Amino acid sequence: MRHNRILRGLLWVAAVSLVPTAIGLAQMQGPPSGGTTGPGQRPDVNSADPTRAHDETRPSQDVGSNSQEQMDKEFVHGALQGGMAEVALGKLALEKSSNEDVKKFAQRMVEDHTKLGEAMKPVAHQIGVKIPDNLSKKDQSLQTKLQSLSGSEFDKAYLQAMLKDHKKDYAEFQHAAQSASIAAVKDAAQKGEPVIKSHLDHVSQLAKSMMTSEGMATR
């Protein structure tokens, strides 16, 4: 009988000593798959919300719309910058040219582009575009070149510059009149487009006439 009591006691001690080992093994295995994590544990990436990655990659705004608005602002700034040059070069032509047709065109440039600029300035204020206060480097270079010329050389160079500029301006006004996303910009472009087109027609005719007269004079 004493022997049996001793044997039961030894078995009880052995069973008690195995309890910490079992607990340690359970902790090492961690929570079952798909379960919640405890403090200090890293979450299972596979159990993350599948919509989270989609939300993080979704653009917060319409990129296409923002791009068009930026183009609208660039158009307004370019129209103001170009108009300033047309006025400055027109005044220069009034001083240097001796050709009455060239002088009439130059006077028209001063008057029309002054009006276009005044109409465009409120639009620039509305959309946050800084109004330029100086000629661009390109226009300053052209102005310097024209100042060094006189007579028919000046007239020819001035008309060639105006023809090139108004071809570019007309294309830009056409595009903005059709595609601008800002209503005020679109309206200004639509109102300015026929004015620029008439300038282009005028200078094209002048340049053609001058080339014809020069050709006849050299025969």
pLDDT in tens, 23-38: 454 444 554 444 444 4
CATH architecture classification, 67-217: Up-down Bundle (1.20)
Spell out the domain ranges in the chain: 67-217
Residue 213's pLDDT is: 73
Q: pLDDT band for position 138 (50/70/90)? A: very high
Q: pLDDT band for position 5 (50/70/90)? A: low
Residue 59 has pLDDT above 70, yes or no: no
pTM greater than 0.85 (yes/no): no
Q: Which of 95, 108, 103 is nearest to 143 (CA)?
A: 95
Q: pLDDT band for position 65 (50/70/90)? A: low
Report the percentage of the chain scoring pLDDT > 70.
68
Q: Which H helix or E strand runs over 153?
A: helix 151-179
